[in-house]
Amino acid sequence: MYCVKNITDDLFWVGGNDRRLALFENAYPIPRGISYNSYLLLDEKTVLFDTADRAISGQFLENVEAVLGGRNLDYIIVNHMEPDHCATLGEIVRRYPDIKVVCNVKTVPIINQFYEFGVDSRAIVIKEGETFSSGKHNFTFFMAPMVHWPEVMVTYDTTDKILFSADAFGTFGAINGNLFADEVNFERDWLDDSRRYYSNIVGKYGPSTQTLLKKITPLEIQFLCPLHGPVWRENIAWYMDKYQLWSTYEPEEKAVLIAYGSIYGNTENAANILACRLAERGVRNIAMHDVSVTHHSVLMSEAFRCSHLVFASSTYNAGVFSGMEHLLTDMKNHNVQNRTVALMENGSWGVMAGKKMTEILSEMKNMTILDQIVTIKSSVKEDQLSEIAALANTIAETLK
C-alpha cells in the first residue's frame, strides 16, 4: 500500500525508507537506516524529481502510481544519477514510455552506462541557468559538479521557492513519519548523522560545495528538498550555515577529539591521563575514541566538528598502528584542514608512530602540529606525568 506525504498542495514526497541496510554505499554504518527521497509534482504536466534505490522499488512505484491517480507521467528531472537515486529509472521509463528526461549534458552518458532504453531520444538537455515550465511551475537549473558526482545539478522551483538539492543537505537516517525537520529535534537527533553524511560522502569536495552555496544563497528558499533525510521549511539558514563551516573546513566547535590506537592498553592509558588533565583545566565535552572500535566514518565526522585533534598511537610494524593510519589517510583524502593537532606515541623499541603520523599530517593543509610529542616507552612512568600535563596546558591555552 502506498505511503506518501504532502509538501505543498501539489507537491508530494513519494520516497521510502530502508531500515535493513547495514552499510550505506557498502561502507558506512547506518544503524538508523536511510531515506530515499523522491518528489512528484502534479501540475499541468506531471514532474518526478529523481527516483529511488532498488531496495524500496515496490513502495516507490506504488507511491508514484497512487499520486498520479491515473494520470500519465510527463517528465522526470534527474538531479543525480547515483544508483541510490536512479536504480528505478529504467522501470519508470518502462511504465511511462512517453516520459521525457530532463537532465544536463553530463548526465546523458551516465544514464547510458546504466541503462539501454535509449535516453538520447527522450532527453531534454538543459544548461546552467536555463528554465523549464510544467505549467504553473517554472524551474531554473544550477550545475553542482562534484557535489558529489560530476553530473549533479539542483533544481529551483521559482513559483513555490523550492530547492531540490540532490545530495546536498542530505543526512543518514530513516524518516519516522515526520517528514519535516521542524517536526523532529534535528540538532539533538539528526545533526551528528548529517555531519557524518557530509564529511564522508561530500566532504572531499568542499570547494565544489562552496561554489554551489554561492549560487543558491541569493535564492529565496521556502522549502529545501534533499535526496536523503528531512525536508526543510524552517531555519534553513541555520542548516546552510553548517554547510558553510563544513565546506570551508572550519571547525564547528572549539572541542577536543582524542583518538587512540592501543594494542595492550598502555597507549590508551596515556590518552586517558591526558583527557583527565584537560578536564581539570576546564575543557568540556572531550570526545574519546578507540580507532579499532569506532568506525572511521564517525571519526571523520568528529574531525570535521572539533577544532583540536589528539592522535595517540602505538608503533606497529615500524609505522603507525593500522587503525590510526587508516584514519589519518582518510582525513587527508577528505581534505581535512585548519586544525590544531597534538601527538602521542608509544613503542617498546624503535618508536616511529609520531614521525610517521607527522608525515601524513604534514601533507594536509593548515594543520598546526604542536611541538610537544609525548613519547611513551611501553607504559607511562611517573616522570612522564608532567610531560602529559604540559601538553594539556598547551591544548587548553590554544582552545581559548
pLDDT of residue 1: 87
Asked if the 257-399 domain carries CATH number 3.40.50.360, the reply is yes
- Cβ partners under 8 Å of residue 205, min gap 6: 146, 147, 148
Residue at grid coordinates 568542499: 206
Read off the C-alpha cell for 382: 611517573
Burial label for 160, CB within 10 Å (0-12, 13-18, 19+), is middle
Backbone angles phi, psi at 344, to 5 degrees: -130, 140
Grid cell locating 300: 571523520
pLDDT in tens, the chain (400 residues): 889 999 999 999 999 999 999 999 999 999 999 999 999 999 999 999 999 999 999 999 999 999 999 999 999 999 999 999 999 999 999 999 999 999 999 999 999 999 999 899 999 999 999 999 999 999 999 999 999 899 999 999 999 999 999 999 999 999 999 999 999 999 999 999 999 999 999 999 999 999 999 999 999 999 999 999 999 999 999 999 999 999 999 999 999 999 999 999 999 999 999 999 999 999 999 999 999 999 999 999 999 999 999 999 999 999 999 999 999 999 999 999 999 999 999 999 999 999 999 999 999 999 999 999 999 999 999 999 999 999 999 999 999 8
Rg (CA), the chain: 24
CB 165 within 8 A of CB 80: no
Task: State the cell numbers at 122.
Answer: 527522450
| Residue 20, CA distances (Å) to 30, 39, 78, 136, 293 in order | 9, 23, 26, 39, 22
- Enumerate the domain spans of the chain: 5-247, 257-399
| CATH 3.60.15.10 corresponds to the domain 5-247 | yes
* Diameter over CA atoms, the chain: 80
